[in-house]
Amino acid sequence: MGASRGPNDTGDVEDVPAASGRRRHPAKLDTAGDAELMAGAAASDLASIGELYDRYARHVWRAAHRTLDDAAAEDVVQQLFLKLPELARSYDGRPSCRGWLCGIGLRLALRHRRGAGRFRRLLAAFSQTASDRTTRTPERDAASRQELSTLQRALSRLSEKNRAVFVLVELEELTSEEAAKVLQIPAGTARRRLFQARKELHAALERGG
């Protein structure tokens, strides 16, 4: 895939979740063991999460990049570190967490690929719902492809917030409550955004563009 660059090539950690205040980087974390940092991550300590990101984000990106393109691999990195407080609770205490994190990253990458397949099937399902066809003909197949393209454009036009909920629920198969926790928003907000996203996508098919 060429000389691709993963996250953290410049040392930035701006995308580490910031749910409980400003992340600090005490000097002692530079020499802390992985097990200690994972214990901190399990307690939602942002400094520990940030240090782990600094150490291993590029390794996770490379593992994901074996099956995904650059942007999708970076999405996997962000997904993993957003979930790290939850994931870290099951850490087995090994001295280095590099292999453990890379294994999770690879599994997320494979799930991402399966999600892409589900996404194509989902778009087809939306097209089928919007167009009441019972038999296939070349003309109808062409129309279906047009509807698929229309829906893809409509999805790209959704607000980032609505699209995020839609992707988590419809592609990643989370419940709206689970998506709300991932996005750190109220469950009611997640449901409203999902409803709006679905409404806009169906309307786009009805309009034909």
| Residue 11 pLDDT level (bands cut at 50, 70, 90) | very low
Burial 54-85 (b: 16+ CB within 10 A, else e): bbbbbbbbbbbbeebeeebbbbbbbbbbbebb
Is the pLDDT assigned to residue 23 strictly greater than 60?
no
Q: For residue 40, count other CB atoms closer than 10 A to its CB.
A: 20
**Sign of the CA dihedral 173, 179, 183, 188?**
positive
Q: Do residues 77 and 105 lie in contact, with contact meaning Cβ atoms separated by under 8 Å?
A: yes
**Each residue's pLDDT tens digit, 27-67:** 478 788 999 999 999 999 999 999 999 999 999 998 888 87
